[in-house]
Amino acid sequence: MAVSPEAVSVPVGAGRAAKSDLRKLGIIVAIALVLVAVGPWVLPTYMVNSLIRAFLYAAVALTVDILWGYTGILTFGQSAFFGIGAYAVGLIFTHVGYGPGYATLAFFAAVVGAMIVAAVVGWLAFYHGASPLYGSVVTLVLPIVVSQILYSGGNFTGSSSGLSGFESFDVSIEAWFWIAGVFLILLTALAWIFVRSDAGKVLVAIRENEQRCEYVGINVSRVKILLMIVCAAVAAVAGYLFAGVQMVVAPEYAGFVFGTELLIWVALGGRGSLIGPVLGTLVLDVSTSYLSGNLPFVWKLIIGIAFVVVIVALPRGLMPLITGAFRRLLGRGKEVRAESAPTLAAATEQPFAGLQGGGAQALAVSGVRKHFGSLVVLDGIDFSAQRGELLSLVGPNGAGKTTLMRCIADGGERSGGTVRVNDHDIGRLPPYACVAFGVGRKFQNANVFETLSVAEALRIARSRLVRPSLSQHSTTLELPEVALQVIRATGLDRDLQREVRQLSHGEKQALELAMVLALEPSVLLLDEPTAGLTKSERTLIGGILVDLAQRHRLCILLVEHDLDFVREISSRVIVMHQGKIVLDGTVDDVVNSELVRTIYAGGAAQAAA
Amino acid sequence: MATLLDIVTTAAILFAVSAGLLIVFGVMKIINFAHGGFLTVGGYSALAVTKLGWNPWFSLAFAFVIGGVCGMIIERLVVRPLYSRPLDAILATWGLGIIIGQGITLAFGREVQFVQSPVSGAVDIAGGSYSEYRLLLVGIAIVLAIVLGLALNATRLGLVTRAVIMNENLAKGLGINSGLVRFGTFSLGAGLASLAGALITPLSSVDPNMGVPWLVNAFMLVMVSGVSLVSLGVACLVLGGAQVLVSSWGNPILGGLTIVVLAALVLRFRPQGFARD
């Protein structure tokens, strides 16, 4: 892989930036460790006890932040995993026995149990096409089910009073403080590294635009389920430690109300900031244990009011306010994006990655039908296309062009017929699987990730071929030659760090095209790629498309209304009308066709009259 | 026979409790987690009527008005900025539920209290006796369903509301004040929730957290019903019936889980739930 000659000049050595970030993290971790080390000696005992509990709650809040703040999964259910971890200790120490062996057994029971439950919940909540609301519904049902099972467990689970008085670890309160504190600090540091890594950006991409993620080949359901499993395991470990130190477990710890309390802490601290939820939990939980004695109801009322105000007026929580104040205090202007621009490089191309051979026929559509109830949108579409063809789909609005595109890119869309991409039947497979067969789809309206940077968005598009690192923030961005071409021709290579939402409409269209090309597709579906572009931008895109078809042998299917544009670039044209193909031929065939003129002039009925 | 009556009365209660949530979800596409709080408001409105020694029947109207007024204030202050953030709306309304619960605790204390029932005693049906009030609730739920159905389908206001449900932007373009429709809907939903709270209190008792278990069941029922009153009725009968059967032949705690678990499973395999396609 050769670094391209025009590689973007990097203002701050990217490697150095990453290192200085790590150094900063190291310093903060060291300070936190020192604070935890001296804590038990300087703090009053009651405070030490409260903080141990708050440390463990904060660890769970951290998982809520990863799921909700970063990935956009509003979860009420992390309390259930905390409860599973706690009850693993309570049940085994009470009914089986206590000892190092049993403690280990309880640990594995906690973690494995939570992971299994999380896998089932994830399967239920995050199936392909599930709405975000449904996912939240399932995470809401989970703690209710778990706590009710605990209530109904009779003497075994101790029912509503829970289990207490079991023998537990012979560890001093100071040592528990250190254990819980170090656990929280390490967890936070790991989470911090993870969310800044390339893989962490995938989570943000899912939150921003799940559909686009599917269409760049990411199996979103799988990512969410895996994340759920990991977060469940972490929450279970926190619950395990909690039961170990408190020597009491109760159904409330697995319940729905505790689940919402976690959300409140995360929201007040500042979702999507890691440190905000941790500090939020520590401050709120400790102050609750001090204040709930004096002003029990008023304190909860104040929390409730603060929560509502934050959700309505400060969706990012209180953390940005505090850090902003600090910055002003230190006289350091506005927040700057920490990451410096990566170096662009040409990737070793791997077309047809994961496929056996390129296939004889790029695209074969036969008998494809689509109806919504009784409304027939596509009525027996048959055509095939070869590599190197630039095939334009034209026809009046409502002819079914976009629907046809959808049916090729998502196996779940069509009502009948078959679609074969590179000789692979797409069956009922979801979009990410169709991407693996070589389909790349660009949507009609620029469909991108608004809060990511240009470079991050492109890297997400590469994640199908280049497994994103779980710990590193890459300093080079390798893209196939064609994607580089688009980026350079449109000047996006100078804007790699810019947030996507700041781009112009034309730049977003170009970015999406580059993202699709980064997939190394062999069948490119483009839905009005030039809509809303200026004349010069159009010419530019047209030239790129012709080059893609002729030099790179892509099969391009283009939906387009601008017939002049179609005439200039297409090698073949299909005319659709009312869900059927009415003409399939060369540009000349179509231009000279009486039929096409009548369709565009206002329908066949008028022509007959 | 008693089981059958249990099923029908349970369904009626569930319908009354869920109707307000359904109306709000249907028009506004947001889940009002303060619904539980409004139920509690209704319960305490009934308690206030009892304490003042007024006629218990009056508590229904009183609860409806109090709940509606709360809804009006809350829609203006809290819900309005959240229309474009439906998941945040869940959280903010849950926070409102906490505020309402704590406010009630401060005003009335946290202990369990009892409300006078407008009707007491039992009637003899098919060889057994059955609570007269529960039977009465069936009638009230049916009246409620008919009134809401007529209001939505046979009045101009209902037509406007349905237009907002189907396509809010288009409705706006046609000069419908959708903000006002939302305001009215939220207030109506809150009023209905509060009314339902007053209806259920004679069966049990009031305490500041009485709304939460009802909220969860109502939420799940609305999820499987889409936005139709008819499918809500069907869902209440089917899932409420299942709850009664599991409680009486299995275990009451499992019975309490029936609705949430079945609803989640129904949605997994049939995302539109009990609604027609």
**Beta-carbon separation of B91 and A267 below 8 A:** yes
pLDDT tens column, A278-332: 999 999 888 888 887 777 778 888 888 988 888 888 888 888 788 778 777 776 5
Cβ-Cβ contacts under 8 Å, A138 against chain B: 264
For residue A74, give the chain B residue with the closest CA: B87
The pLDDT of residue A331 is 64
DSSP notation for A120-172: HHHHHHS-TT--HHHHHHHHHHHHHHHHHHHHTTHHHHTGGG-EE--------
For residue B101, give the chain A residue with the closest CA: A301
Which helix (H) or strand (E) segment holds residue A195: the answer is helix A173-196
For residue A154, give the chain B residue with the closest CA: B253
**Residue indicated by tokens 């463990």:** A56
Which residues in A229-252 are b (16+ Cβ under 10 Å) and which e? Answer: bbbbbbbbbbbbbbbbbbbbbbbe
Please state, rounded to an integer, the average pLDDT across all residues of chain B: 86
Residue A152 — pLDDT band, cuts 50, 70, 90? confident
In the three-class reduction of DSSP (H, G, I as helix; E, B as strand; rest coil), residue B63 is classed as helix
| Residue B53 neighbours by CB under 8 Å, 6+ apart | none
Q: Alpha carbon B103 to chain centroid distance?
A: 21
**Which whole number is the average pLDDT over A458-463?**
89
Kindly report which listed range (A218-227, A314-323, A476-485, B37-46) carries the lowest average pLDDT score: A314-323
d(C-alpha A113, C-alpha A254), whole Å:
14
| Distance between B96 CA and the closest CA of chain A, angstroms | 7
pLDDT tens column, B234-268: 899 899 889 888 888 878 888 888 888 898 888 88
- Which of A74, A148, A260 has the CB atom closest to B257's CB atom? A148
**Beta-carbon separation of A151 and B253 below 8 A:** yes
**Beta-carbon separation of A304 and B95 below 8 A:** yes
Interface test mutation site (partner A, options B30, B77, B79, B99, max chain A beta carbons within 10 A): B99
- Which of A124, A151, A312 has the CB atom closest to B264's CB atom? A124
The pLDDT of residue A359 is 66
**Which whole number is the average pLDDT over B38-43?**
92
For residue B220, give the chain A residue with the closest CA: A137
Q: With beta carbons less than 8 A apart as the criterion, state whether A463 and A504 touch.
A: no
**CA proximity to A571, closest of A541, A550, A595, A552:** A550
**Beta-carbon separation of B87 and A263 below 8 A:** no
Total residues belonging to chain B: 277
**Beta-carbon separation of A260 and B94 below 8 A:** yes
- Which of A256, A260, A312 has the CB atom closest to B82's CB atom? A312
pLDDT tens column, B153-171: 778 778 888 787 777 788 8
Cβ-Cβ contacts under 8 Å, B106 against chain A: 297-298, 301
Please state, rounded to an integer, the average pLDDT across all residues of chain A: 85
Interface test mutation site (partner B, options A64, A308, A316, max chain B beta carbons within 10 A): A308
For residue B261, give the chain A residue with the closest CA: A141
Cβ-Cβ contacts under 8 Å, B212 against chain A: 257
Can you give A522-559 as a three-state secondary structure string? CEEEEECCCCCCCHHHHHHHHHHHHHHHHCCCCEEEEE
Residue A2 — pLDDT band, cuts 50, 70, 90? very low
Instruction: Check whether A606 has a pLDDT greater than 60.
Output: no
Q: Alpha carbon A113 to chain centroid distance?
A: 26
For residue A308, give the chain B residue with the closest CA: B92
Question: Which tokens sit at B21?
Answer: 């949530």
pLDDT tens column, A368-398: 888 887 888 888 888 888 888 899 988 888 8
**Residue indicated by tokens 């670890």:** A169
At residue A450's C-alpha, the angle toward residues A449 and A454, to 5°, is 70
| Distance between A285 CA and the closest CA of chain B, angstroms | 17
For residue B79, give the chain A residue with the closest CA: A312
| Distance between A264 CA and the closest CA of chain B, angstroms | 8
- Which of B85, B86, B99 has the CB atom closest to A308's CB atom? B99
Instruction: Check whether A13 has a pLDDT greater than 50.
Output: no
Separation of first and last alpha carbons in chain A: 64
Instruction: Check whether A340 has a pLDDT greater than 80.
Output: no
Q: Chain A residues contacting B, CB < 8 Å?
A: 74, 124, 127, 129-134, 136-138, 140-141, 144-145, 148, 151-152, 256-257, 260, 263-264, 267, 297-298, 300-301, 303-305, 307-308, 311-313, 315, 373
**Beta-carbon separation of A312 and B106 below 8 A:** no
For residue B81, give the chain A residue with the closest CA: A312
**Which whole number is the average pLDDT over A536-556?**
87
| Distance between A452 CA and the closest CA of chain B, angstroms | 20
| Distance between B50 CA and the closest CA of chain A, angstroms | 25
pTM of the predicted structure, to 2 decimals = 0.88
Q: With beta carbons less than 8 A apart as the criterion, state whether A339 and A453 touch.
A: yes
Residue A238 — pLDDT band, cuts 50, 70, 90? very high
Cβ-Cβ contacts under 8 Å, B82 against chain A: 311-312
The pLDDT of residue A132 is 84
**Beta-carbon separation of A312 and B257 below 8 A:** no
Total residues belonging to chain A: 609
